[in-house]
């Protein structure tokens, strides 16, 4: 198993924590999507699945059985399939919409666009939702916390700083199979007490797999408690990219 494959499987180690701690998605982004037949790739515990069920009939393909079990409870209207999307046999009936929320980067980059295109009916659309931590919120904390990362994670670049939202790259592969994507972004903030912030960190694959994870987490918790009164605010950018699949008559493959 490669390091990437190993990291991809860490999310199911504590599915309840993942569901409790991971941020949801701004509801206005879903107003831009249309069904009625929807395929969701990598639903996790269903943070995007539930709003998608209000748009159409959802089939959600999740790698982790543990995450899928929580998603079934959270979004019972959806059909949950436990499978690796990179290998999952596409159904004969194509979809109107394919969605991947904070999971698209885990798919095989050599095949993901072709597989998404093959899953769509003519005129159907691919929607990629990505979540980014950007400059803002309790700004000084995210400067100070780099000392913790540099102390316990040797791969941390020195003096790392958060980027402003406008500098975040747009997440969508170049592909002749799709028309030019439309991008929509939403910036928002979430406050965390120390326990909730630690919970969040322990849902990130690079933190879960870090050998000095416990030392890092304890160091960060102490920083929040002693210098920031037990509470910090994190600023997010949620980005939506939507592109329609090209038909044969429009020059696509």
- Report yes or no on 227 lying in a domain: no
SS3 for 9-77 is CHHHHHHHHHHHHCCCCCHHHHCCCCCCEEEEECCCCCCCHHHHHCCCEEEEEECCHHHHHHHHHHCCC
Closest CA to 156 of 87, 222, 210: 210
The C-alpha atoms of residue 178 and residue 174 are separated, in whole angstroms, by 8
| Assigned domain for 152 exists | no
Residue 148: inside a domain: no
- CATH of residue 52's domain is 3.40.50.150
- Domain count for the chain, please give it: 1
In a domain, 127, yes or no: yes
pTM: 0.92
pLDDT per residue rounded down to tens, the chain (253 residues): 565 655 656 776 889 999 999 999 999 999 999 999 999 999 999 999 999 999 999 999 999 999 999 999 999 999 999 999 999 999 999 999 999 999 999 999 999 999 999 999 999 999 999 999 999 999 999 999 999 999 999 999 999 999 999 999 998 999 999 999 999 999 999 999 999 999 999 999 999 999 999 999 999 999 999 999 999 999 999 999 999 999 753 433 3
In a domain, 168, yes or no: yes
Examine residue 201 and state whether it is found in any structural domain, yes or no: no
Q: Which residue segment(s) compose the domain that 38 sits in?
A: 3-134+163-190+234-245
**Is 250 contained in some domain?**
no
Distance between CA atoms of residues 112 and 94, nearest Å: 16
Q: Is residue 83 part of a domain?
A: yes
């Amino acid at each position: 198993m490669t390091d990437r494959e190993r990291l991809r499987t860490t999310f199911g180690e504590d599915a309840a924590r993942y569901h409790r701690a991971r941020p949801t998605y701004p509801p206005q982004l879903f107003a831009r999507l249309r069904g009625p037949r929807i395929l969701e790739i990598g639903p996790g515990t269903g943070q995007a699945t539930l709003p998608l069920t209000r748009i159409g009939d959802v089939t959600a393909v999740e790698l982790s059985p543990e995450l899928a079990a929580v998603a079934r409870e959270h979004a019972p209207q959806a059909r949950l399939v436990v499978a690796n999307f990179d290998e999952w046999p596409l159904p004969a009936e194509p979809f109107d919409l394919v969605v991947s929320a904070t999971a698209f980067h885990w798919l095989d980059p050599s095949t993901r666009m072709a597989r998404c295109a093959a899953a769509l009916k003519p005129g159907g659309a691919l929607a990629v939702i990505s979540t980014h931590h950007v400059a803002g919120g309790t700004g000084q904390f995210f400067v100070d916390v780099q000392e913790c990362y540099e102390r316990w994670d040797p791969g941390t670049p020195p003096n790392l700083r958060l980027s402003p939202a406008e500098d975040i790259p747009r997440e969508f592969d170049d592909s002749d199979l799709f028309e030019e994507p439309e991008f929509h972004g939403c910036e928002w903030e979430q406050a965390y007490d120390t326990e909730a912030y630690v919970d969040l960190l322990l849902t990130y694959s690079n933190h879960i797999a870090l050998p000095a994870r416990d030392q890092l987490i304890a160091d960060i918790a102490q920083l929040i408690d002693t210098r920031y009164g037990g509470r910090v605010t994190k600023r997010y950018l949620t980005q939506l990219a939507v592109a329609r699949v090209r038909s044969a008559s429009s020059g696509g493959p």
